[in-house]
Amino acid sequence: MGTANHLPAGILPSGVDMAAINALATKYALGISAIDDQHRLLFGWCVALRTAPAIQPVLQALLTYAITHFQDEERWALDHGVDIEAHHAQHVELLQHLEEQLRRPKQSRMEAQAMAFDWLTQHIDVEDRNLVMAADLDRDD
């Protein structure tokens, strides 16, 4: 995972606007470093959709990483005493939507970015924040 101010080298396409990624990650930080670091990378893939030469590989990378992130986030929630049934269903819905985007022969860069960004910001700001608020933070991280 990255740190609060950078991502591991070579993960995202070159030329990605790191200032935009850091601003988003800061704005939507939950205060749980393991989750916030992964959200930073998800924001990175969303920002990469703006300028990547082709959006298909970026969407595939976003899908692949989202699977890992969702598993980690759900494991964290379970470890902290949170019922994740509804949260898991939302994760499944996004993964299905990303898979649908990948199957489309022609994709709009703007539509793909808006879908990913809107879902991610809304999900973090409401659902993930509620997940953290419901967690027993006295349990080991």
The tens digit of pLDDT for each residue in 130-139 reads 999 999 887 6
User: Which tokens sit at 78?
Assistant: 């379970």
- Residue 2: predicted pLDDT: 40
The C-alpha atoms of residue 22 and residue 5 are separated, in whole angstroms, by 7
Domain 18-134 has CATH 1.20.120.50: yes
**Predicted TM-score (pTM) of this structure:** 0.86
Answer positive or negative: Cα dihedral of 110, 55, 62, 96.
positive
Flag whether pLDDT at 120 surpasses 60.
yes
Are 49 and 17 contacting, i.e. CB atoms less than 8 angstroms apart?
no
Spatial distance between the Cα atoms of 57 and 55, rounded to a whole number of angstroms:
6
